[in-house]
């Protein structure tokens, strides 16, 4: 991570341990790295297989892990599990650096505190949704200065969904205009 002590082989091994990846701003973003649970890393624009040693950002304090990343309009939404260390949602917006080596940076701004994401998240019809311990949640906009709020979705399905023991292993996607959630071999929609 640029601390002067991490070798290139250790850095490569760390990146290869990532369990979360998404494409945003024509770059590949990585997270879910056990050694750096609250960090995101991103690839070079011209070579997506190259991740520079300075291409990272830490989201929040402590070690609460990142559980999902979702591109939303001109930002990358990063969701963390439930935390008492601060925010559970962070936004990364591209910023020009004026430096040839690293033309863009992705500083984070805290979006929301409180209930976190168990792991499944997607952008459903321009509505960023995620699975929490309370069921299906979304991040909406308040009318004042583009502030964001957590909004509950799908109360009809939540009674069954939240009682599934392995809810953290749920997967979700948009299919034929519907939001579908797969968990324990059952599909909720």
**pLDDT by residue (tens digit) across 1-40?**
445 566 788 888 999 999 999 999 999 999 999 999 999 9
Residue 152's pLDDT is what? 65
Residue 1's pLDDT is what? 44
CA-to-CA distance for 187 and 165, rounded, in angstroms? 15
Residue 149's pLDDT is what? 57
Q: For the chain, where are the alpha helices, taking DSSP H only?
A: 8-16, 155-161
pLDDT digits (tens, 9 = 90+) for 63-74: 889 999 999 888
Residue 134's pLDDT is what? 86
Using only the alpha carbons of the chain, give its radius of gyration. 17
Give residue 122's Cα distance to chain centre.
9
The residue-averaged pLDDT of 43-72 equals 89
Cβ contact 82:133 at 8 Å? yes
pLDDT digits (tens, 9 = 90+) for 103-151: 789 998 887 777 889 989 999 988 889 998 888 888 876 444 445 556 6
Please tell me which residue, 55 or 158, carries the higher pLDDT value.
Answer: 55
Please tell me which residue, 189 or 137, carries the higher pLDDT value.
Answer: 137
Please tell me which residue, 3 or 59, carries the higher pLDDT value.
Answer: 59
Both tokens of residue 52?
A: 């520079």
Between the alpha carbon of residue 132 and those of residues 7, 75, 139, 167, the distances in Å are 37, 21, 12, 9
CA-to-CA distance for 128 and 140, rounded, in angstroms? 8
* CA angle in degrees (0–180, nearest 5) for 16-14-95: 90
Cβ contact 55:102 at 8 Å? yes
Please tell me which residue, 98 or 83, carries the higher pLDDT value.
Answer: 98
The pTM for the full model equals: 0.85
Residue 144's pLDDT is what? 42
């Amino acid at each position: 991570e640029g601390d002067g002590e991490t070798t290139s082989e250790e850095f490569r091994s760390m990146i290869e341990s990532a369990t979360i990846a998404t494409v945003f701003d024509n770059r590949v973003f990585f997270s879910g790295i056990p050694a750096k649970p609250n960090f995101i890393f991103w690839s070079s624009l011209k070579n997506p297989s190259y991740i520079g040693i300075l291409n990272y950002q830490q989201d929040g304090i402590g070690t609460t892990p990142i559980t999902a990343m979702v591109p939303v309009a001109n930002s990358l939404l990063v969701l963390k599990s439930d935390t008492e260390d601060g925010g559970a949602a962070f936004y990364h917006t591209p910023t020009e650096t004026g430096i040839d080596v690293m033309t863009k940076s992705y500083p984070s701004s805290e979006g929301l505190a409180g209930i976190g994401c168990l792991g499944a998240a997607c952008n459903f019809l321009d509505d960023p949704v995620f699975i929490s311990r309370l069921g299906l949640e979304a991040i909406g906009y308040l009318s004042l200065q583009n502030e964001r709020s957590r909004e509950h979705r799908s109360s009809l399905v939540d009674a069954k969904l939240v009682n599934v023991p392995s809810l953290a292993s749920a997967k979700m996607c948009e299919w034929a205009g519907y939001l579908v959630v797969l968990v324990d071999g059952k599909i909720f929609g």
